Amino acid sequence: MRRRSVLAAGAAGAAALLAGGTSAEAAPLAKTAAQAASAGDAPWTSASLRDLAARIGLRVGSALIPQDIETPSYAAIAGSQFSVVTPGNAMKWQIVEPARGSYDWSQADQLVSFAHANNQLIRGHTLIWHNQLPAWLTAGVANGTITSAQLMELAHQHITTEVTRYRGKIWQWDVCNEFFTDANPSGIDQANWWIVNAGPDIIPNAFTWAHEADPNALLFYNDYNIGGEDGSNAKFTAVYTYLRQLRSQGVPVHGVGIQGHLDTQYGWSPARLRQDIEQYAGLGLKVAITEADVRTFVNNATDQVPTDSLSQFAQPFEYSEMLKAALAVPECISFTVWGFTDSDSWVPGVFAGEGYAGIYDVNQQPKAAYYALQSDLALAAHGAPRRVRTYTPRS
């Protein structure tokens, strides 16, 4: 009964995106669904997110960490429900070069192998960020033994080494991550570690070096609060303006990653998200929802039961609205959740009293949010615009 009402809500909301008519790909599903309806069930209720999304060429992903896929039941969900993997931490500089000149690719390789084994694409994350930098690098910059020019050269080496290692295996790279302020007006954060220590050329340089190392990878700028979260849309405007400038200068930036970390306690505009995606697409950029989750207040970090009964409706609703905005714009090519269970979410460790951010619960059972995404994707096959293929299959 509870599940029926969730599906009904999803169906009503998805009606708007179906206004474009039916696609050729949708026909077989429609026929099967009609047959199955008379039998009292619809086939898509047992279909995976990845299979439903594939009907319109959308990829659905999750961030993963190696420890989690060592649990067979977790790995089974990760491999069957998703068609893209984002290493949540394994490709960050701190992990891959823990000592200067000494590399550890074991975690990244493990996730690349997992993705390959499950016929999944990979979003590489992330090359240039102010967090999770190696201690030798931050210490060297702080004590003056690494100069600004040397830092720029080390960044060049880092990007060239990592992107070359995984050349041909990465669909989308998050090249630069979280450079803009949350202020109004927003702009590149002049206090950002990279801006302070290397200067603003680090951003265009990073894209240029990544492109040289793997000309076929799609190169993304990735950030939060740039898709309808902030009432003024100031951060969107600043990122949009900056990416337009980079494109006009011929910098190889191909996409923008909208992280999508939502919280039910704040206002958020799905209509604005859709407009923002459309505007980025108008620059000739691809768009990806890269780190979707929706957090709320919970009883404790272990069980993660929402303390406000309304949030049990708001949480799946916001997931669904995020996905529907993505579905409406064909340049939006992937929708990734930042870990799929509540137990592997970053939220309880960072936001005191909050959790319940995933689409599976702490016992690896699908939640209302999962069923909302599933029904949205099933309906999308009946008219959401199909995405153009943007990857070359691995040999």
Q: Which residues are catalytic?
A: 178, 291
Instruction: Give Cα separations from 15 to 185, 191, 376, 379, 387 (angstroms).
Output: 36, 45, 9, 8, 19
By beta-carbon proximity to ligand G3I, the closer residue of 132 and 363 is 132
Residue nearest to ligand G3I (CB): 346
Q: Compute the least distance from the CB of residue 135 to ligand G3I, in Å.
A: 12
86 near ligand G3I, judged by CB under 6 A: no
By beta-carbon proximity to ligand G3I, the closer residue of 132 and 300 is 132
**In this structure, what are the phi and psi dihedrals at residue 192, rounded to the nearest 5 degrees?**
-60, 140
Q: Kind of pairing, strands 59-64 and 84-87?
A: parallel
* 14/103 Cα distance (integer angstroms): 47
Q: Compute the least distance from the CB of residue 189 to ligand G3I, in Å.
A: 15
Segment 346-385, which members bind ligand G3I (CB under 6 A)?
346
Report the Cα–Cα distance between both ends of the chain, in Å, rounded.
Answer: 46
88 near ligand G3I, judged by CB under 6 A: yes
Total residues at the site for ligand G3I (CB under 6 A)?
A: 8
Structure tokens given for 40: 């009292």
- The one-character DSSP state at 123 is E
Segment 117-176, which members bind ligand G3I (CB under 6 A)?
131-132
291 near ligand G3I, judged by CB under 6 A: yes
Q: What are the residue ranges of helices labelled H in 72-230? A: 72-81, 93-96, 106-117, 135-142, 148-165, 193-197, 202-213
Task: Give CA angle at 230 (367, 53), nearest 5°.
Answer: 40
Structure tokens given for 329: 């714009």
**Sign of the torsion angle spanned by Cα atoms 374, 379, 385, 391:** positive
* 141/135 Cα distance (integer angstroms): 10
* 84/308 Cα distance (integer angstroms): 33
Q: Compute the least distance from the CB of residue 378 to ligand G3I, in Å.
A: 29
**CB-based burial of residue 69 (10 Å sphere; 0-12 exposed, 13-18 middle, 19+ buried)?**
buried
193 near ligand G3I, judged by CB under 6 A: no
Q: Compute the least distance from the CB of residue 14 to ligand G3I, in Å.
A: 28
Return the SS3 of 318.
helix
- Residue carrying the six token digits 């780190």: 291
Q: Compute the least distance from the CB of residue 291 to ligand G3I, in Å.
A: 5
* 288/282 Cα distance (integer angstroms): 14
Q: Compute the least distance from the CB of residue 91 to ligand G3I, in Å.
A: 10
Segment 243-272, which members bind ligand G3I (CB under 6 A)?
259
By beta-carbon proximity to ligand G3I, the closer residue of 88 and 227 is 88
By beta-carbon proximity to ligand G3I, the closer residue of 65 and 281 is 65
Asked whether the beta carbons of 382 and 22 are under 8 A apart, the reply is yes
Q: Compute the least distance from the CB of residue 293 to ligand G3I, in Å.
A: 9
> Residue from 48, 89, 186, 264 that binds ligand G3I (CB under 6 A)?
89
Closest CA to 124 of 86, 177, 165, 178: 86
Instruction: Give Cα separations from 218 to 20, 211, 214 (angstroms).
Output: 28, 9, 9
Closest CA to 382 of 11, 28, 23: 23
Chain residues that interact with ligand G3I, rule: CB under 6 A: 88-89, 131-132, 177, 259, 291, 346
